[in-house]
Amino acid sequence: MSNVVTRFAPSPTGLLHAGNYRTAVFAYLFAKHSGGSFILRIEDTDIARSKPEFEANIIEALTWLDLKTDNQYRQSEHRARHRELLEKLIAADAAYISKETPENQGDREEVIRFRNPRGTVSFTDVIHGKITMDVSDLGDFVIARSIDEPVFHFAVVVDDMDENITHVIRGEDHISNTPRQILIQRALGFTSPTYAHLPLILGNDRTKLSKRKGAKAITEYRDLGVLPEAMLNYLAFLGWNPGDEREYLDRDTLIDSFDLTRVHKGAAIFDEVKLLSVNQHWMRKLSDADFIKYIDARYSSATDTVRLQKATFLLKERAHTFNEARELVSGELSCLFIEPVLDMNLLIAKEPSDHPGTTKAALEELLDPIKSLPENISAETVKDVLMPLATIAETKRKGGRGAMLWPLRYSLSGKERSPDPFTLISILGPKETITRIKKAIDMLEDEKK
């Protein structure tokens, strides 16, 4: 074990979006790459806004992403320690109780202010290099609203120290807070951790990604059927890449390749379309059996598992999430599992009006060749057998290939859009195919009567 300790320090005041978890991913990858520890600290000192359900959602999201923590803390559990160190600063006259003139309702008459030594504060950020800021303008800033209510800057400094955090990895929006926190560290006699401020994450509209502007909570992606390995892969690439052409990295490879010094300075764009294409990659990598497990987990109307197994390649081809896969199973591909209801007009849609009966004749012609097909057969072989039948001279069957292939596909699918008839037959098998074709023939027969 190295002594590297990183932390993810979210406030449980709302559902966090995927971009928020990029911080957790980078802190985790850096810790694990260095053989160190990764800590979760729930920053719940804002009593009014912190909610247990948001904390539960954070734990759920980290569990889903499998970002295992080596320790978990709740900031509110450290109140006594915060108080102790506030008192210490006041005793050393590095902070003082300040009488205030309340301007707004709810303003305190007394707060605790830090005696700002003024001048400049510099630190070296792993990503941004040396940063120097003049802290004079901050004045004697507030570090607690009362002895039991430290503000964020104070609590963060104390907790980072007590939890032996070596690297503070967090969003760029915290850069401006860092000099204040360094001043507090110095007053308490703490050594400053190493800072790495991650580039902002913007939405497609190039403004900061935020829940208010419609960014989904990360757990919504889980519920849509995004794989955790896909989300991890995607988030790791928001502001970082391994420096070569590789785009799809699993957890171990990410841990192996992650390098904080390669993190970009420029903002990263959260692009849902790209996320879903990364997800499709990871979905396709699953074995068919595992893929089906994901569908079955929340969807059970595809009861015919043999057919579902045979149809998996279609789902892998088309779906970007497991929700989409389930929608295909109950929508466009439902004919693979449920017998379709046919519409006469669509059944004869490709029949030349001056040659009535073409559809029925074409379907009847197909019965024997299909009957002789084996139960397990590839779409290609079905095509090899049936295509020559469809491609007979226009003089023999008016309407060309379509006059046979359309009613065949339609009697099997009952849909204007579906996979080609050869694929359908290879999944349904010859027996079910014959049953469906016969139904269509019966319908055409009834129509004649």
Cβ neighbours of residue 380 closer than 8 Å, sequence gap 6 or more: 422
Residue 70 vs 432, nearer CB to ligand GLU:
70
Of 5-13, 80-88, 108-116, 335-343, the window that binds ligand GLU (rule: CB under 6 A) is: 5-13
What radius of gyration do the chain's Cα atoms show?
Answer: 32
Residue 59 main-chain phi, psi, to 5 deg: -65, -40
Residue 331 main-chain phi, psi, to 5 deg: -115, -105
CB of 192 to ligand GLU, least distance (A): 13
Residue 65 vs 156, nearer CB to ligand GLU:
156
Residue 238 vs 427, nearer CB to ligand GLU:
238
The residue within the footprint of ligand GLU, chosen from 9, 218, 311, 333 (CB under 6 A), is: 9
What number of chain residues touch ligand GLU (CB under 6 A)? Answer: 7
Residue 118 vs 174, nearer CB to ligand GLU:
174
User: For the purposes of burial, counting CB atoms within 10 Å of the CB of 9, is it exposed (0-12), middle (13-18) or buried (19 or more)?
Assistant: buried
Instruction: Give the whole-angstrom CA distance, residue 184 versus residue 158.
Output: 9
Q: Would you count residue 278 as binding ligand GLU (CB under 6 A)?
A: no
Q: Would you count residue 127 as binding ligand GLU (CB under 6 A)?
A: no
Beta carbons within 10 angstroms of residue 262's beta carbon: 13
Which residues is 167 bridged to in the sheet? 6, 194
Of 6-14, 77-85, 235-243, 430-438, the window that binds ligand GLU (rule: CB under 6 A) is: 6-14
Q: Would you count residue 11 as binding ligand GLU (CB under 6 A)?
A: yes
Classify the C-alpha dihedral 78-52-37-263 as positive or negative.
negative
The residue within the footprint of ligand GLU, chosen from 79, 88, 174, 274 (CB under 6 A), is: 174
Tokens of 70: 């080596």
Residue 156 vs 386, nearer CB to ligand GLU:
156
Q: Which of residues 88-117 bind ligand GLU (CB under 6 A)?
A: none
Of 4-12, 127-135, 195-203, 312-320, the window that binds ligand GLU (rule: CB under 6 A) is: 4-12
Residue, CB closest to ligand GLU: 170
**Secondary structure in 3-state letters for 44-89:** CCCCCCCCHHHHHHHHHHHHHHCCCCCEEEEHHHHHHHHHHHHHHH
Instruction: Give the whole-angstrom CA distance, residue 372 versus residue 370.
Output: 5
Residue 126 vs 346, nearer CB to ligand GLU:
126
Residue 260 vs 319, nearer CB to ligand GLU:
260
Q: Which of residues 15-44 bind ligand GLU (CB under 6 A)?
A: 43
Q: Would you count residue 156 as binding ligand GLU (CB under 6 A)?
A: yes
Q: Which of 244, 213, 169, 117 is nearest to 9 (CA)?
A: 169
